[in-house]
Amino acid sequence: MSITTAGLSRRTLLKSTAAAALAGAVKSAFPSGAFAQGAGPETTRAVLGFIALTDSAPLIVAKEKGLFAKYGMPDVEVVKQASWGTTRDNLVLGSQGNGIDGAHILTPMPYLISAGKVTQNNVPLPMVILARLNLDAQGISVGSAYKDLQVGLDSGVLREAFAARKAAGNPAKAAMTFPGGTHDLWIRYWLAAGGIDPDTDVETIVVPPPQMVANMKVGTMDCFCVGEPWNEQLVNQGIGFTAVNTAELWNKHPEKSLGMRADWVEKNPRAAQALLMATMEAAQWCDDMANKEELAEIVGKRAWFNVPAKDIVDRLKGEYDYGNGKVVEDSPHFMKFWRDHASYPFQSHDAWFLTEDIRWGKFEPETDIKALIAQVNREDLWREAAKTLGVTDIPASTSRGVETFFDGKVFDPENPEAYLKSLAITRIA
């Protein structure tokens, strides 16, 4: 499968007259691969954080393939972060304080940071979301001790075992990567849909993504939710199995974003556009099936993930060995970087994340969801960059509409209250 843009394969598109015209326009606008003299970025430098997760690939590829330089920003640094907590702390510092200006980030985090929900002394730091980095392909994995239960979409098969653990004074532990982040919300949704309360029936713990496999190996947790390549590595090491690809919970769900400090974007609007264009071009490259082997080799390097390419490449291609006997050779739930409007930050998706964080007590029930999204989600900048790049397949609306989940629950972004009322397990009184 090759990347598609406006219904054409990438190869076809590159041969088209429109692509030739675009190439000419870009060349004249960005001589020598950079912005024209006097109209270029306000700065050639930005410091971007990333966590060793496959969905950081667009930033890594933009750096490795010289795309930041192509759009006039040769001094962009892409710097590894130890955890999402470290990412947050370094965003607060900013690059002027030896921190970072932006990051590959869990989509709810810019909202939690902007609202001062997860910062020291609850001091808000205004953030913006410039783009989505991917759809789908996170995983919920379970330790080998539970293999006989045939755990899959229905977490309810764990209810009895977890209840026994709790009664014995040793509650089961469910690990995620940051409170209120995407992985937290996926595993909570999955557990709650099976009648397991993630706050009372199990103990929810925070573990950085690269430490998940090692912690499962020594029995620190019973299940976890994280992005790749850690679920695949767990299977390859025979420590546990994948119960669920998160796209099975919500098909074509949003995941990570490119988040930036709002003050950096306000000060450097042309540089923000340059970052966007480089990231978008990288996302198209990452999405091309012909590039998956090379992509796995690139991100697996010591400087990036320090993970063997074999632990990355299969699931990039949609080849899923769940580790419990289930094998899907051509899964539709592989990670999307560009197709299906993966890069565009739908505001309706941010509304779901905020609603779920209200469900679990991270935001107050009276939170003005639309107002917060208007402050943080800068899909207008994405559209501007897309038009400059000649992208024709641009969503007509900021909403993808009503979303339906695996358990039949329906989220209408125009009526979050109805969705919340439909949920049996919630922290809302």
**In the numeric block, which tokens belong to residue 32?**
């020598």
User: Which residue, chain included where needed, has tokens 């239960």?
Assistant: 149
Output DSSP code: residue 36.
Answer: P
**Whole-number Å distance between alpha carbons of 410 and 363:** 21
Reference 184, options 128, 117, 124, 102; nearest CA is: 117
Q: What is the pLDDT of residues 266-315, one digit of tens each?
A: 999 999 999 999 999 999 999 999 999 999 999 999 999 999 999 999 99
Q: Is the pLDDT of residue 20 over 70?
A: no
- φ/ψ region of 212 (left if φ > 0, alpha if ψ in -120 to 50, else beta) reads alpha
Q: Is the pLDDT of residue 265 over 70?
A: yes
Element (H, E) at 240: strand 240-245
**Whole-number Å distance between alpha carbons of 80 and 103:** 10
Residue type, 296: A
CB 94 within 8 A of CB 264: yes
**Whole-number Å distance between alpha carbons of 404 and 397:** 18
Residue type, 29: A
**Whole-number Å distance between alpha carbons of 143 and 154:** 16
According to the model, what pLDDT value does residue 17 have? 31
According to the model, what pLDDT value does residue 429 have? 84
Q: Is the pLDDT of residue 215 over 50?
A: yes
CB 133 within 8 A of CB 258: yes
**In the numeric block, which tokens belong to residue 97?**
């304080």
Q: Is the pLDDT of residue 15 over 60?
A: no
Residue type, 15: K
> DSSP for 57-108?
HHHHHHHHTTHHHHTT-TT-EEEE-SSHHHHHHHHHH-GGGTS-SEEEEETT
Q: What is the pLDDT of residues 87-124, one digit of tens each?
A: 999 999 999 999 999 999 999 999 999 999 999 999 99
Among 2-6, 22-26, 208-212, the range scoring the smallest mean pLDDT is 2-6
Q: Which 3 state secondary structure label does DSSP give 308?
A: coil
Domains in the chain: ranges and CATH: 45-135+253-287+337-415 (3.40.190.10), 138-248 (3.40.190.10)
Q: Is the pLDDT of residue 18 over 50?
A: no
According to the model, what pLDDT value does residue 39 have? 81
User: Which residue, chain included where needed, has tokens 């692509």?
Assistant: 19
According to the model, what pLDDT value does residue 124 have? 98
Query: Is the pTM of the predicted complex or chain greater than 0.75?
Result: yes
**Whole-number Å distance between alpha carbons of 372 and 221:** 35
